[in-house]
Chain A
Amino acid sequence: MRPFTTLAAVAAPMDAVNVDTDQIIPARFLKYPRSGGYGGFLFHDLRFGDDGSERPDFVLNQEPFRAAQILVANTNFACGSSREGAVYALADFGIRAVVAPSFGDIFHANCLKNGLLPIRLPAATVAALRAALHAAPGGRIAIDLAQRQLTAPGGSSHDFEIDPHWQRMLLEGLDELGLTLTQLAEIEAFEAGYRAARPWRATLMPGP
């Protein structure tokens, strides 16, 4: 996984509440392999008209937001489906961090597995960030993951929280599965105790 340490980049505001993963990537694109360039599917039906032309009113079709690497969204961003394609699409488009008051739980987890940083901040702080980006498009947001700090275009800084486990994974670009595979002995010991304590669960386990 690509490490995430610091980032200073153009941020795009997205004001709608409850933006669901069906908006981020419509279902019909999920059959394609990841190598298929998921960035082109991002917000597809909001970004493009029926004839495939760009909708000029959509934020990511406007300068300077085309170059955004940070998305500043609203409450319950990426709710709905578990489709990891939503993260593939954002990442492939070039988005490296999303800031919102709250996220769909599964999307939040999916981000962390793909090197995309989800940052939760209070709703008023996020609203002020969006307002600043609307007022002065092209404003850059700086993120320092080690310090857990976000600096707004105007210079004000905001501390955010992130579970230390995921913070380390992102900072070092660690492969979570690779790490867990080094702990198989511990998993096997757990399974043995678990099976002994609940014999009926033997039916869940491989036969002897």
Chain B
Amino acid sequence: MTTPRTMFDKIWDAHVVQARADGTALLYVDRHMAHEGSHHAFRDLAARGLGVRRPRQNFATADHYVPTTGRRAADAASPEIAGMIETFDRNMAVTGITAFPLGDPRQGIVHVIGPELGITLPGLVIACGDSHTSTHGAFGAFAFGIGQSEMTHVLATQTLWQTRPKTMRISVTGRLAAGVSAKDVILAIIARVGAGGAVEHVIEYAGATIRAQGLEARLTICNMSIEAGARAGMIAPDDAVYTYLEGRDFAPRGALFAQAVAAWRHLPSDPGAAFDREVALDVAGLAPMVTWGTSPEDGVAITERVPDPDTLAGADERESARRALDYMGLVPGTPLEGLAIDRVFIGSCTNARLSDLRAAAAVLRGSRARVPVLVVPGSTAVKRQAEAEGLDRVFIAAGCDWREAGCSMCVGMNGDLVAAGERCVSTSNRNFPGRQGKGARTHLASPAMAAAAAVTGRLTDVRRLLGGA
């Protein structure tokens, strides 16, 4: 009998081009994705006189710098930002990579369009110059973020030197209550494991609760693996994944698709496979989550209060928490529910898919937002689908700003910024100081919770609006 292997082991082993005695391996990269922020890599490649070795295995989209108010480079917030979009178009033209530029119906946030277009497939090694590449693991791929030097290496060789990560399985059980979603689950996981808790590990999410999640919810969970420090996150593929992928632009077709599915069925971790670490979480009693501080690990139930740094264990942790509260303008002991906010952002590769927009619209329907709300679909395709089912009209009737697809206020590179001192409830993934703009105060939450905050102008337990708690 062969030793039982984890899904990660199976994918890794199948991609080793060369294994070194010291444990490092030259790993084959099936698919690589880039965006306009990747300009250093294309510059390096050109400076070395190199081309893209396997153009058909490389894809690129414009997302980080694109305007959300229009679809031309000229709509950008500044000539400098417009220049980034034009540089991208020029780079793509000379490299022969399949690109989805601004204005293309397939354009969108790289981690949203990968699955949509069938670029993301089970069993693949996928790399992208962006830390949230962990998202693609939701379909059973080993997908991780890389820097620009590594990008240059992939473009030129379709391989990467990698140190083998350790494995961690997080088993989630318990039925989620109404108003509680995948975002709350992953915030609870990060609060438990810590922002650096999964460093040097690949996480496999397992358990009945994960299996019961729809594909978009799985993408949300894997997306934030990096916020626990993990190299990647992954979930075993199943029929829902195969059904979703069949017929997508870049997925195999016909008999080849059937062959692929037959191979994919062998991917899930074998019974008895050993993980370096095991974590178990019961989410039956989980309340909607919200972050109070400046690390994604600072998530607590909306029913709780701003914690007191003095109760923390280490001196450095106490000092870091004090600084976070100072930055956030919060006093220990303040109830989180009821905290007045200045704006809401519904978007990002974490929570801007159709199901996210539906969840937000369900709360906003028939209400007026009390604060400015920016709704930015994750891709042009998501935007079209949302408009086909009338979600745009719900948002507009509620007074929200309905925009074009891109990263937008998740990182503010395109000029969609939160002003200094403003408190923003955001469905994105990072509440780091300055992430949404210099001095911006970010509270991470689910789409439903963000919509609830929009309706009341305060941090609000969405279960109240749904007639629950």
Contact = CB atoms under 8 A, between A and B. Distances in A.
A199 B258 CA distance: 11
B48 A106 contact: no
Contacts, number: 186
Interface residues on B, range: 35 or more
Contacts of B345: none
A2 to B, nearest CB: 14
A163 B24 contact: yes
B199 A204 contact: no
Contacts of A198: 263
Nearest 4 CB-CB pairs, A to B?
A76-B196, A113-B149, A110-B147, A84-B147
B28 A17 contact: no
Contacts of A127: 316
A194 B263 CA distance: 13
Interface stretch (B156-164, B212-220, B374-382): B156-164
A51 interface: no
Interface string A71-98: 0001110011111100100000000000
A186 B26 CA distance: 11
Interface in A3-40: 15-18, 20, 22-23, 26-28, 30-31, 33-34
Interface stretch (B5-13, B333-341, B390-398, B430-438): B430-438
A106 B147 contact: yes
Interface string B292-318: 000101000000000000000000110
Interface stretch (B53-61, B173-181, B350-358, B457-465): B53-61
Contacts of A103: 199
Contact of A203 (B196, B227, B256): B256
A200 B252 contact: yes
Interface of A: 15-18, 20, 22-23, 26-28, 30-31, 33-34, 45, 74-76, 79-84, 87, 102-106, 109-110, 113-114, 127, 163-166, 176-177, 180-181, 183-184, 186-187, 190-191, 194, 198-207
B17 A186 contact: yes
Interface in B1-49: 14, 17-18, 20, 22-24, 26, 28, 30-31, 37, 39-40, 43, 48
A76 B227 CA distance: 11
B456 to A, nearest CB: 29
A165 to B, nearest CB: 4
Given A163-B163, A204-B31, A110 B17 contact: no
Contacts of A104: 196, 199, 229
A27 B36 CA distance: 13
B69 interface: no
A34 to B, nearest CB: 6
B130 A22 contact: no
12 contacts: A20-B430, A22-B432, A31-B80, A75-B316, A84-B149, A113-B147, A114-B149, A180-B156, A187-B28, A187-B158, A190-B17, A203-B253
Nearest to B54: A206
Interface in B83-140: 83-84, 124, 129-131
A187 B30 contact: no
A198 B447 CA distance: 40
A9 B17 CA distance: 40
B20 A204 contact: no
B320 A23 contact: no
A200 B256 contact: yes
A154 to B, nearest CB: 21
A33 B250 CA distance: 33
Given A22-B434, A22-B435, A206-B54, A113 B150 contact: yes
Interface of B: 14, 17-18, 20, 22-24, 26, 28, 30-31, 37, 39-40, 43, 48, 54-57, 65, 80-81, 83-84, 124, 129-131, 144-150, 152-153, 156-159, 161, 163, 165, 194-196, 199-200, 226-227, 229-231, 250-253, 256-257, 259-260, 263, 295, 297, 316-317, 319-320, 323, 411-413, 430, 432-435, 438
B147 A22 contact: no
A181 B156 contact: yes
Given A27-B411, A82-B131, A75 B196 contact: yes
Given A27-B411, A105-B199, A194-B28, A186 B263 contact: no
A23 B195 contact: no
Contact of A106 (B145, B195, B263, B412): B145
B147 A31 contact: no
A204 B17 contact: no
Contacts of B39: 31, 33
B199 A102 contact: yes
Given A45-B438, A200-B257, A165 B20 contact: yes
Contact of B432 (A20, A30, A180): A20
Contacts of A201: 30, 252, 260
B147 A206 contact: no
Nearest to B23: A163
B256 A79 contact: no
Most chain A Cβ neighbours within 10 Å, of B20, B65, B130, B131: B131
B432 A76 contact: no
Given A165-B20, A203-B252, A45 B149 contact: no
B196 A30 contact: no
Contact of A17 (B153, B257, B320): B320
Contact of B433 (A17, A45, A181): A45
Contact of B150 (A109, A190, A206): A109
A30 B22 CA distance: 35
A22 to B, nearest CB: 4
A206 B55 CA distance: 8
Given A26-B434, A28-B413, A76-B199, A183 B263 contact: no
